Amino acid sequence: MSAVLDQFIAMTAAVGGKAVVLPEGADINAAIRDLFPEAGKIASNLPEIGIANINPDTVEEAMELDGTDLGIIKGEFGVAENACIWVPQTMKEKAICFISEHLVILLPKDRIVPDMHEAYKQISFNDYGYGTFISGPSKTADIAQVLVMGAQAARSVTVLLY
């Protein structure tokens, strides 16, 4: 593995996430099922994700995504220094990035840049005109300085590097 990939994996763990390097030719659906065997409501619009049972492109309104156990999205590139992943909006309802209990981000392992200076050079927008950096699960310690996971978004973030 490369130094930037090693740093990205280490930083993903440091921010509370999990990075899994898939072996060449691995079945992504089987890997996700192994990691989240209890997930019932699985949302994704990615054509390679056959285990999804709700598509964020076909819901009438974002509220239908409430109660999603697992959202599966694709990142465009990752940043080694802080484990951020640039996620451009590629679905009608971007709420899936934030409302899911658990989030899986698919990321090509050769699309990791060393730092945010390089990351900003890589950013591009599509027809939706929206994108965000995601780094690990949502967490806050605003109330009584007690760390709460999943306060504003996913309780867990797993990056599948392929």
Domain boundaries, the chain: 3-161
Q: How confident is the model at residue 6 (pLDDT cuts 50, 70, 90)?
A: very high
The Cα–Cα gap between 66 and 17 comes to 22
pTM: 0.92
Listed range (9-18, 73-82, 143-152) with the worst mean pLDDT:
143-152
Q: What is the pLDDT of residues 132-161, one digit of tens each?
A: 999 988 776 777 777 666 666 789 999 999
Report residue 74 as tokens.
């694709």
State the average pLDDT over residues 100-117.
98
Q: Tally the residues of the chain.
A: 162
What is the average pLDDT score of the chain? 93
pLDDT at 127: 82
On whether the CB atoms of residues 119 and 84 are closer than 8 A, the answer is: yes
pLDDT at 1: 74
In this predicted model, which residue has the larger pLDDT, 137 or 44?
A: 44
In CATH, what class is 3-161?
A: alpha beta
On whether the CB atoms of residues 155 and 138 are closer than 8 A, the answer is: yes
pLDDT at 149: 64
In this predicted model, which residue has the larger pLDDT, 153 or 38?
A: 38
The Cα–Cα gap between 73 and 83 comes to 16
State the average pLDDT over residues 69-95.
96
